[in-house]
């Protein structure tokens, strides 16, 4: 957002940043997210802390096991709370200034986009009940640019193709050589995306755009972490250990020389975690092969 842009309905930075972080971190489909928001929504934001207290009181009698359950509830509760606060902020603007709906919504879109490094997906406005028609209005006024279906870019921002891709395909995790590129562990520039998705995930457009690996649910989330793209946006990738396991398991679809070089570089890195590598390889049932190739790299 340029400094010359006039924002009449300003949202507090903390509310805005918490909202953007929350909506980017939630991977559930939008209909499920809205159901959760409807369940916790109460007049005057009867705080979600009360919901947490009710849930904690319910599971308390179950002893030590309740602690892990309670802990697992905290992240999603905080995320939903951030979304609710943002929604209430916009509702308050609308109630106070009923004749300025368009300005309220377009200002909100601009601020969300700015907080999200100049990019916005339609998913980011749905929980706020902002109609997509306002995106069309802004596109027609050249305030924003549509770069792909459901993804918009501020004219003053540079497109981050990795970020926009993952905004569109939430289940796609950058993997194999593509992820190793982010870690500087391959000379191979990823002209085509390489991603891993669950076996149950079937979106034809993903297969047309990149190399796709389908895995079972029990290992899909194993090793997921976040890295920054060159544009400063966070995307989800697998960690180094998972990538090493992946390229060894799928070496028939990889450049064999690049596989060897990446493994060699991993063995020489100071932050390698051999215990984690062993754990992953056992879960993927390739422990013997991974240990063999790691040993070969050590002694070359």
CA distances from 27 to 12, 45, 123, 171, 232 (A): 25, 24, 11, 7, 20
Give the end of a domain, one of 124, 159, 194: 159
- Shared domain for 247 and 279, answered yes or no, is yes
Give the end of a domain, one of 142, 159, 176: 159
- Shared domain for 23 and 137, answered yes or no, is yes
Is 211 within a domain?
yes
- Shared domain for 143 and 194, answered yes or no, is no
- Shared domain for 179 and 139, answered yes or no, is no
How far apart (Å, rounded) are the C-alpha atoms in residues 217 and 221? Answer: 7
- Shared domain for 155 and 188, answered yes or no, is no
- Shared domain for 215 and 149, answered yes or no, is no
Is 152 within a domain?
yes
- Shared domain for 31 and 145, answered yes or no, is yes
Average pLDDT on 228-254 reads 92
Q: Out of 168-172, 204-208, 266-270, which region has the weakest mean confidence (pLDDT)? A: 204-208
Total domain count, the chain: 2
The pLDDT value recorded for residue 44 is 40
How far apart (Å, rounded) are the C-alpha atoms in residues 189 and 251? Answer: 17
- Shared domain for 222 and 260, answered yes or no, is yes
- Shared domain for 234 and 272, answered yes or no, is yes
C-beta separation of 170 from 161 below 8 A: no
Average pLDDT on 253-278 reads 93
- Shared domain for 99 and 28, answered yes or no, is yes
Is 196 within a domain?
yes
Nearest Cα to 112, choosing from 96, 134, 97, 95? 134
- Give the per-residue SS3 of 112-144: HHHHCCCEEEHHHCHHHCCCCHHHHHHHHCCCC
Is 7 within a domain?
no
Is 2 within a domain?
no
- Shared domain for 137 and 30, answered yes or no, is yes
What are the tens digits of pLDDT across the range 246-258? 999 998 898 889 9
Would the pLDDT of 43 be above 50? no
Is 249 within a domain?
yes
Would the pLDDT of 3 be above 50? no
What are the tens digits of pLDDT across the range 123-153? 999 999 999 999 999 999 988 999 888 889 9
How far apart (Å, rounded) are the C-alpha atoms in residues 224 and 240? Answer: 10
Predicted model pTM: 0.65
Give the end of a domain, one of 134, 159, 184: 159
CB count within 10 Å of CB 119 equals: 24
Is 263 within a domain?
yes
Q: What's the burial of 148, exposed, middle or buried (CB within 10 Å: 0-12/13-18/19+)?
A: middle
Confidence of residue 4 (pLDDT cuts 50, 70, 90): very low
Give the domain range for residue 287. 168-299
Is 54 within a domain?
yes
């Amino acid at each position: 957002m340029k400094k010359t842009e006039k924002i009449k309905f300003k949202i507090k930075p903390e509310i805005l940043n918490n909202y953007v972080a929350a909506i980017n971190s939630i991977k559930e489909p939008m209909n499920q997210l809205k159901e959760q928001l409807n369940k916790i929504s109460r007049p005057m934001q009867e705080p979600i802390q009360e919901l947490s207290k009710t849930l904690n009181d319910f599971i308390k009698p179950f002893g030590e096991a309740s602690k892990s359950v309670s802990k697992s509830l905290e992240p999603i509760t905080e995320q939903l709370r951030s979304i609710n606060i943002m929604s209430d902020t916009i509702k308050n603007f609308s109630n106070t200034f009923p004749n300025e709906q368009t300005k309220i919504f377009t200002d909100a879109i601009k601020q969300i986009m700015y907080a999200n490094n100049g990019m916005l997906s339609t998913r980011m406005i749905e929980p706020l009940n902002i109609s997509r028609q306002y995106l069309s209005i802004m596109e027609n006024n050249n305030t924003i640019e549509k770069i792909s279906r459901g993804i918009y870019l501020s004219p003053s921002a540079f497109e981050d193709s990795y970020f926009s891709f993952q905004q569109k395909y939430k289940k796609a995790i950058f993997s194999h050589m593509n992820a190793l590129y982010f870690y500087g562990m391959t000379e191979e520039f990823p002209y085509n995306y390489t991603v891993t998705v669950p076996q149950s995930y079937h979106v034809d457009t993903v297969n047309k755009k990149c190399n796709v690996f389908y895995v079972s649910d029990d290992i899909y989330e194993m090793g997921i972490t976040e890295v920054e793209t060159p544009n400063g946006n966070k995307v989800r990738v697998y960690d180094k250990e998972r990538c090493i396991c992946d390229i060894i398991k799928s070496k028939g679809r990889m450049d064999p020389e690049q596989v060897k070089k990446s493994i060699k570089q991993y063995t020489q890195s100071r932050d390698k975690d051999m215990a984690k590598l062993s754990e992953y390889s056992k879960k993927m049932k390739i422990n013997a092969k991974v240990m063999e190739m790691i040993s070969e790299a050590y002694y070359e």
